[in-house]
């Protein structure tokens, strides 16, 4: 198995924007705060599951290869045309999500 660090698990918490915007400000603040808590929880859960999965793989005798910085950079360069093609079709909101994901590294 090769660890590329090219993806991450995402837990989506969503709500109809019109309904959200109609809520009182204190309720909106509470929902946003709880959303941040859920985000932190989901990251912790993902890290815990990743560690358990890696242990399972190693316990089965499979090799785990972790890409070094140069290899990750090469992978990014190789995949960049795919990202560029997606960006041509992406909305501004889609781009914000991608930028946020990239910032989480």
The dihedral sign for the CA sequence 71, 72, 76, 77: negative
Q: Enter the pTM of the model.
A: 0.59
Contacts of 83 (CB under 8 A, 6+ apart): 98
- The span from the CA of 71 to the CA of 4, in Å, is 9
Contact status, residue 13 vs residue 78, Cβ threshold 8 Å: no
Which tokens hold the place of 94? 């889609």
Specify the DSSP element, H or E, that contains 68: none
Q: What percentage of the chain has pLDDT greater than the value 90?
A: 51
DSSP assignment letter at 3: E
Q: 1-43 pLDDT, tens per residue?
A: 888 776 666 677 789 999 999 999 999 999 999 998 988 898 8
């Amino acid at each position: 198995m090769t660890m590329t660090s090219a993806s991450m698990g995402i837990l989506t918490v969503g709500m109809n924007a019109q309904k959200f915007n109609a809520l009182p400000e204190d309720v909106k603040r509470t929902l946003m705060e709880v959303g941040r808590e859920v985000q932190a929880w989901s990251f912790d859960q993902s890290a815990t599951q990743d560690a358990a999965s890696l242990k399972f793989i190693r316990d089965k005798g499979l090799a785990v290869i972790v890409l070094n910085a140069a290899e990750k950079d090469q992978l990014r360069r190789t995949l960049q045309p795919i990202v560029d093609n997606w960006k041509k079709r992406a909305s501004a909101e889609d781009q914000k999500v991608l930028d946020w994901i990239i910032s989480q590294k």
